[in-house]
Chains A and B, each alone.
Chain A
Amino acid sequence: MSRTTLDLWVGFFVAVGLGALLFLALKVGNLASSSSGETYAIQAKFDNIGGLKVRGAVKSAGVVVGRVTEIRFDPEAYLAVVTISVDARYKFPRDTFATINTSGLLGEQYVGFEVGGDTAMLKAGDTIKKTQSAVVLEKLISQFMFNKAAEDGGKK
């Protein structure tokens, strides 16, 4: 095989390989969507965040409006402090209600915003006052079982 055809094949191979990497990055991964424009950071304090993770979604009306960027524990108030970066295109009222929801019965947990009626908007660095913790399935079940047992005990 002459030198030029060999070069052609190697060039083709490298181009196809890099193309595959690009396909993985753009079509399979989230490189295209993760670097979308400016954000502002706000904080929310929760009693219990359940299984929420860094990079988890923040949704309002089901639409992704931001990401969880940091989760830490406040040792004085014994609360979880979740830092959220919200897409700068979206503004939310001051009295927005932050909840931790689960997508589906066993799905990932995400932060949901329920919009309030305040005219003042949340700014960077603000803290959301009204929050609702994650629903812990085990607690619900045990509560139900203890209630059931207490009812049965009362009948006797």
Chain B
Amino acid sequence: MRALRGLGQRVTSRIWRLGYASRFFLAILLHSGTSLRRINLTIREIFFTGVLSLIIILVSGLFVGMVLGLQGYDTLARYGSTEALGVLVSLSLVRELGPVVAALLFASRAGSAITAEIGMMKATEQLSAMEMMAVDPIARVVAPRFWGGVISMPLLAALFSAMGIFGGYLVGVQLIGVDEGSFWSQMQASVDFREDILNGVIKSFVFGIIVSWVAVFEGYDAEPTAEGVSGATTRTVVTSSLAILAADFILTAFMFTGT
């Protein structure tokens, strides 16, 4: 009986949090006028989420592309079609790996930092102090961080894909010796701008919204203790990673099947 009650309580609290999160999302959208008017706030957040994530995104993009080049060559060599290496590397990066892996890295690099920052602000009662001074913390603190993340994410994903393709080029063409002309020309022949690249950008945009939303919500909703903040940071990474993968499946089902 107690187990049943516990289960019910857990489910209701999840649903309660989901509803609260949705209301919070609307509040961010309503208050985002301030973050656009005071663009400096948003620019500061783009610096902290976007610019400081550059190194990890570029380095991991390069390595992912290099691994794709090696593995792809190994498999394609069996069918004697190593010229298709460029197609394999670019399509898998632009369609899937670029947006998804960049978003996962972004969630753990920038999302957790946002949650910890807002959570600490709450724990040290800075948010309450703002309210005392008639400054809306959602407009002043939350919305700029949200938009900073949403703007940074597609740019980071594009950088990840470009860097990965460069990594695939380095390994495939420079190291192994696939023909350079067919590497690029086959890639250009089979990667479509609207179908592949634009859909990838849309994906990374959606992931940016998900990660930023989860991060600011968990921070804002954190228990105002050191323990609560650490728990919220963990939840940000777990929840946003799962949400990214689930959303990726749904978006892929919409974009790349049919026709």
Contact = CB atoms under 8 A, between A and B. Distances in A.
Interface residues of A, number: 28
The B interface is mostly helix, strand or loop, or mixed, namely: helix
B191 A28 contact: yes
Contact of A30 (B163, B193, B201): B193
A32 B191 CA distance: 12
A78 interface: no
A17 B43 CA distance: 15
Contacts of A3: 40
B78 to A, nearest CB: 13
A7 interface: yes
Interface stretch (B47-55, B66-74, B124-132, B239-247): B47-55
Contacts of B184: 27
The A interface is mostly helix, strand or loop, or mixed, namely: helix
A20 interface: yes
A28 B198 CA distance: 12
A104 B47 contact: no
A9 interface: yes
Contacts of B103: none
A25 interface: yes
Contact of A6 (B43, B155, B158): B43
8 contacts: A13-B54, A20-B162, A24-B94, A27-B188, A28-B94, A29-B191, A29-B192, A55-B192
